Amino acid sequence: MGTHHHPFAGKVGKPLVKYILKTLWRHRARTFLTVSGTAVAMFVFCLVGSVQQGMSRLTEDTAANQNLIVFQENRFCPASSHLPEDYAAKIQKLDGVREVIPIQVWTNNCRASLDIVVFNGADPTKIQRHRPLVLTDGSWQTFSNRQDAAIVGRGVASRRNISAGDQFTIGSLSVYVAGIFISEIPAEENLIYTDLRFLQYTSGLNMAGLVTQHEVVLNESASPDLVASEIDALLRSGAVATKTRRKSAFQASTLSDLIDLISFAHWLGYASIGLVLSLVATTTVMSVQDRMKEYAVLQTLGVRPSGTVSLVVGESLFLCLVGGCVGTFIASITLFVGSFAIGAEGATIAFRPSLSLALFGVGISLAVGVIAGIAPAIRAATVNIANTLQDA
Amino acid sequence: MALVELSNVTKQFTKGEQTITPLDQIDLQIAEGEFVSLMGPSGSGKSTLLNLVSGIDRPDSGSIVIDGTDITQLSRGKLADWRAENLGYIFQTHNLIPVLTAYENVELPTLLLKQTSQQRARRVQLAMNAVGLGDRVNHYPRQLSGGQEQRVGIARAIVTHPKIVVADEPTGSLDLKTSRQIQKLLQDLNQQLGITMLMVTHDNEVASIATRQLLLNQGKFIDGHTSPSVRREGGEALG
Ligand SMILES: Nc1ncnc2c1ncn2[C@@H]1O[C@H](COP(=O)(O)OP(=O)(O)OP(=O)(O)O)[C@@H](O)[C@H]1O
Ligand SMILES: [Mg+2]
């Protein structure tokens, strides 16, 4: 007499998967509704997740933690911060400072917006040296040579349908698109860089000699907070008082209203998971309740209680996993194609698809699938076989 | 020693205040190759006895030794394993899995045993042929007649070559003609393949195909035909 086999192991796994699939197929309307509900919820979960990821990238970016932003004290919108450009030379003299980049910022919208256009005007050679940008189209050459040239981040370019060689006009600004760039920092991909002079002359009245902010690149050994307070102390006596912070802290405070909102959105993510759980659990409970007798028969034939658990959990796992994968996949595609970014006051949070997010989505679906199936699985496995068979 | 040996088996149920004792200290021996029918009034405990022999219910006291194993001592999981290897169960209503074809239904119990796919295929084919349904393998239960469904159910019960096959009113929901065909089939399985059977029935005619008839009433066997009836066990077949 052969040794007994666990019904979910080895070669025997295949027929039991077939049994699960056939059972789900028999109730295909219910299966389809559950899978699509799960997909929608996981879609929402992934969108919310990508917003959260975009936000945490602001503070985790190492360059943003080692660079400082010098801004006018008590000013919040780029339009209202005016620092003398020659502060750069003073800051440059401080210990630990490697380079100072005076930047003029122009934005079409100081309020929170999903289609914010932010121009950063700076010295093209400094941009090339300190920003992790890779041109996918156009050339740095054209960017440095033409006064009205701009390089455009992939995110803005795809939202606004801009390509190299175009003339791009917004408000009073009109630039020649010298190139499209990608960046390992997704928020960068929502910026447009121009020459500092160009932006100073176009963006208003008396901007010559003034910039919005100075970005300070520090030596690796320098302590950002220490240098920041040195800068503010140094410039206190100047024409305009400054407030210097790490770039990450600067961005976080600029976006603080949005960040509150976004942090709140994580509840939406939890709610999505709860929705999937209740949806799949309901379907599985219904499916099991309808078929208690079938489980009694299977166990009479010799399927172990553990095998019965596998059958039921397999069902809920399948529903969750298929729905979860579909939702995650569609969300990733949407995020990729849409290049969404939310911005306020010249800072942006980019929502990008990511492998970690996709894996997390699939992992969550897996876990929810198991959890949703446990209670009905235990019911099916512990069914009173004799009584259930007697009930016609 | 008999293949099946029940000693001093008692089973009680409590319904509210009332305690019923469908099986009251009964003894029963079934020899290998026997075909035992079990009759008795409704509620006399026939199904209960069958369920105890199948290990899908447990007695309150007594022992049930089948082929040397006291199945009352086995855990639920071990009982499932034991059933997979040793027991065939024919239900009153076929209880086929609706989403599986006739072939897949019959194949199912073999999947629980360690066999090669060739061994499985051969056994399924043998069982299907034995019940005369070799040409219906790819039909779903709903595409079969009641009699055909019951044949598939019987094929499923014998496909693993179990030590004993139990049947609870296997012809109970069939018309007379179909019932007679199934009776003939069960008799053939016993006589030609030597399958040991324990069958519950209400019908005298059905009971008569067995080699020994038992009558259960008020917790006891009437007549006391409790000893084995096949020749090699000493008794004379009564059927
Ligand atoms: N789980 C249970 N709980 C309480 N009482 C039960 C249970 N199962 C069976 N009984 C009772 O035990 C007695 C025997 O039941 P059983 O089903 O074995 O009878 P039976 O001989 O098979 O009857 P029938 O010919 O109607 O099928 C009946 O009185 C029944 O009501
Ligand atoms: Mg009964």
Pick the residue whose CA is nearest to atom 22 on ligand 1: B47
Distance from CA of B180 to the nearest CA of A (A): 23
CB contact under 8 A, B95 and A293: yes
Let me know: does A352 contact A335? Beta carbons within 8 Å.
yes
pLDDT tens for each residue of A30-63: 999 999 999 999 999 999 999 888 888 877 776 6
Q: Is the pTM of this model over 0.90?
A: no
> A41 and A86: one domain?
no
Report chain A residues touching chain B, CB-CB < 8 A.
Answer: 1-5, 7, 11-12, 15-16, 18-19, 22-23, 25-26, 293-294, 297-307, 385-386, 389-390, 392
Residue A153 lies in a domain: yes
- Pocket mutation for ligand 1, best pick of B14, B19, B20 (most atoms within 8 Å of C-beta): B20
Kindly report the protein residue whose alpha carbon is nearest to atom 9 of ligand 1: B48
A155 within domain boundaries: yes
The three state secondary structure string of chain B is CCCEEEEEEEEEEEECCEEEEEEEEEEEEECCCCEEEEECCCCCCHHHHHHHHHCCCCCCEEEEEECCEEHHHCCHHHHHHHHHHHEEEECCCCCCCCCCCHHHHHHHHHHCECCCHHHHHHHHHHHHHHCCCCCCCCCCHHHCCHHHHHHHHHHHHHCCCCCEEEEECCCCCCCHHHHHHHHHHHHHHHHHHCCEEEEECCCHHHHCCCCEEEEEECCEEECCCCCCCCHHHCCCCCC
- Please report whether residue B214 resides in a domain: yes
Task: Decide whether any atom of ligand 1 lies within 6 Å of the A387 Cβ.
Answer: yes
Is residue A65 situated within a structural domain? no
Sheet holding B4-15, edge to edge: B18-30, B4-15, B61-66, B69-70
CA of B91 to the centre of ligand 1 (A): 16
Contact B104 A298 (CB under 8 A): no
Helices A28-60 and A13-26 sit at what angle, rounded to 10 degrees? 110
pLDDT tens-place values along chain A, 392 residues long: 444 444 544 445 777 888 999 999 999 999 999 999 999 999 999 999 998 888 888 777 766 778 999 999 988 788 888 999 999 999 999 999 999 999 999 888 777 777 788 999 999 999 988 888 999 989 999 999 998 999 999 989 988 899 999 999 988 889 999 999 999 888 888 899 999 988 888 756 567 788 999 999 999 888 999 999 999 999 998 889 999 999 888 888 888 878 888 888 889 999 999 999 999 999 999 999 999 999 999 999 999 999 999 999 999 999 999 999 999 999 999 998 888 888 777 778 888 899 999 999 999 999 999 999 999 999 999 999 999 998 76
Using the mean position of ligand 1's atoms as its centre, give its distance from the Cα of residue A153 in Å. 78
Q: Which of B76, B77, B114 sits opposite A3 (nearest CB)?
A: B114
A306 contacts in chain B (CB < 8 Å): 77
Residues of A in contact with B104 (CB under 8 A): 15, 18
A237: exposed, middle or buried (Cβ count in 10 Å: 0-12, 13-18, 19+) = exposed
Residues A128 and A274 in one domain: no
Where a domain ends, among A240, A272, A295? A240
Are the beta carbons of B54 and A3 separated by less than 8 Å?
Answer: no
Residues A125 and A270 in one domain: no
Tell whether the torsion through CA atoms of A217, A222, A224 and A230 is positive or negative: negative
Q: CB B99 to CB A26 under 8 A?
A: yes
- CB contacts of A304 in chain B (<8 Å) are 77, 80-81
**Residue range(s) defining the domain that contains residue A170:** 74-240
Q: Would you say residue A96 lies in a domain? A: yes
Residue B138 lies in a domain: yes
Same domain, A161 and A265: no
Domain range for B41 is 32-58+75-226
* A276 and A195 belong to one structural domain: no
Cβ pair A111, A254 in contact under 8 A? no
d(CA A319, CA A157): 38
The CATH number given to whatever domain includes residue B93 is 3.40.50.300
Residues lining ion ligand 2 (Cβ < 5 A) are: B 47
Structure tokens at A7: 């019904």
Matching residue, tokens 């209670």: A375
- The ligand whose atoms approach the alpha carbon of B168 most closely is 2
Q: A212 and A80, same structural domain?
A: yes
Same domain, A54 and A94: no
Q: Are residues A116 and A19 located together in one domain of the fold? A: no
A46 and A132 in a single domain? The answer is no
Of B106, B108, B151, B109, residue with least CA distance to B133: B151
Contact B85 A1 (CB under 8 A): yes
From its phi and psi, is residue A153 left (phi > 0), alpha (psi between -120 and 50) or beta?
beta
Domain count, chain A: 2
> Is A20 domain-assigned?
yes
CA nearest to B93 within chain A: A392
Verify whether ligand 1 is closer than 6 Å to residue B45 (CB atom): yes
The residue whose C-alpha atom lies closest to atom 25 belonging to ligand 1 is B42
Closest Cα to atom 13 of ligand 1? B43
A302 CB neighbours in chain B (<8 A) are 80-85, 87, 109, 112
